[in-house]
Amino acid sequence: MATVLAIETSCDETAVAIVKNRQVLSSIVSSQIAVHRQYGGVVPEVASRQHVEIVNQAIAQALQAAALDWSNIDGVAATCAPGLVGALLVGLTAAKTLALIHQKPLIGVHHLEGHIYASYLSDPTLEPPFLCLLVSGGHTSLIYVKACGRYEILGQTRDDAAGEAFDKVARLMGLGYPGGPILDRLAAEGNPTSFSLPEGQVSRPQGGYHPYDSSFSGLKTAMLRLVQKLQQTGQPLPLEDLAASFQATVARSLTKRAIACALDYGLTTIAIGGGVAANTGLRQHLQAAASLHSLKVMFPPMQYCTDNAAMIGCAAADHLEQGHTSPLTLGALSRLPVSDVMQLYHFEP
Ligand code: KG4
Ligand code: ZN
C-alpha cells in the first residue's frame, strides 16, 4: 500500500492531495477561475504566478487535513505533462524539491492518466480493461485502458475539445466563462430540436468517416452563423433553444462515438472523466444509449471529474507499487500522448 503526496498545477487549479492507493486521505483544490474570468479564458502567465503563490500553503493543508507527516509518505508526485509548461513547472519543481529533501521517490504523472484514475477513486473495485471517455476543456479522447501505464488512444478530436467548444459557443452568445455550466443551465429550459446543427464528422483518406474521432469546429462555425442571422432580426436571442440544440448535438456526437468504440472493442464499461462529464445532456444521452446495449457507464463524482490532485495521487500510487519512478531530471512537457506515459519512468524490467 503506497501513500503518495500529489501536486496538480497543469492548468488553472492548484491542487494537492494525499492518496493511499485508491483511498483519498485529503484533497485540496484551489481554483483560479475567478482570476481568469475577467480575461474570458486562462492566461498562462497569470496561472503560473497564482500556482507559485498558493502551492506551499496547499501542501501544508493537505498534510494537515490527512493528519500525516513526511514519515508516512512513500512518494511525491506531480503532473508533468501535458499542460501549460510554466504552470506544470511550478508543481513539478515543488515535488522534486520535496522528494529531494525528504528522500522520497518522485513520480511524474500524465494528466490524462490522472483523469482515467478518477474512476478508480469512485469505484475501487474497477479493473481494466475499460473505455475512458475523457471530455475536458483541453481534451476529447476515447482511451482503451489496458493496465497501469498501458493506454491506446482510439479516438480524439481533430480540433476543439468538447469543453472548449462549450466555452467558445458561450462566448459568441455573449455569455460568461466557463461556458459549459452556463449553457447546461440554459439548455434545461430550451427545446433541443429547435435548430438543426452539424455533428462534425472526420473524413478518412480512404473514404467514409472515422468512427471514433470528433470535430467541433464546424459546429462552432454553424452556431456563429446562426447567432449572427438571428441577431439581424433585431429580436432577443433564443438563448435557451440555442443552448439546448447545441448541447444535444455535442451529446449525440460523443455518445455515438463512445458506444461504437466500446462495442467494436468488446469493452463493457465506459468510464467518463473531465469537466464536461458534468453535462446533463451528455449524461442522459450516454446513459440511455449504454442501457440499450447493456454497457455500464461510470460517472465519477464531479470533484474527481474536474481537475484535482487526488486522481494524480491515485495514478502515482499505482505506478509506485509497480516500481515505476521518475528521475529528478524529469522535465515538463506541453504535449505527450497518453500512450507514451511509460517514458516518464525508469523501472526494473
Ligand atoms: O476537466 P476540466 O475542469 O479542466 C480541464 O482539464 O480542461 O474541464 C473544464 C471544462 C470547461 O471547458 C467547462 O466549460 C466544462 O469543462 N464544463 C462543462 C460543464 N461543467 C464544466 N461543460 C458542459 N457542461 C457542464 N455542465
Ligand atoms: Zn484535466
Query: Is the Cβ atom of 179 under 6 angstroms away from ligand 1?
Result: yes
Ligand 1 centre and the CA of 178: distance in Å? 7
Assess whether pLDDT exceeds 90 at residue 51.
Answer: no
d(CA 134, CA 116): 8
- Looking at the CA of 12, which ligand is closest? 1
Provide the CB-side half-sphere exposure for 117 (13 A, CA). 29
Q: What's residue 31's pLDDT?
A: 81
Query: Is the Cβ atom of 155 under 6 angstroms away from ligand 1?
Result: no
What is the maximum span of the chain, computed from C-alpha positions, in angstroms? 68
Q: What's residue 347's pLDDT?
A: 64
Q: What's residue 348's pLDDT?
A: 57
CATH no. for 128-304: 3.30.420.40
Q: DSSP state, 206? A: T
Location of each CATH 3.30.420.40 domain in the chain: 3-116+306-344, 128-304
Q: Looking at per-residue confidence, does 204 or 243 come out higher?
A: 243
Q: Whose CA is nearest to atom 2 of ligand 1?
A: 275
Q: What's residue 218's pLDDT?
A: 95
- The residue with cell 492566461 is 43
| pLDDT level of residue 309 (50, 70, 90 thresholds) | very high
| pLDDT level of residue 61 (50, 70, 90 thresholds) | very high
pLDDT tens per residue, range 230-289: 999 999 999 999 999 999 999 999 999 999 999 999 999 999 999 999 999 999 999 999
- The residue with cell 485502458 is 145
Give the β-pairing of 13-20 and 3-8: antiparallel
Q: What's residue 47's pLDDT?
A: 77
| pLDDT level of residue 177 (50, 70, 90 thresholds) | confident
Assess whether pLDDT exceeds 90 at residue 207.
Answer: no
Architecture of domain 3-116+306-344: 2-Layer Sandwich (3.30)
Q: What's residue 349's pLDDT?
A: 52
Query: Is the Cβ atom of 83 under 6 angstroms away from ligand 1?
Result: no
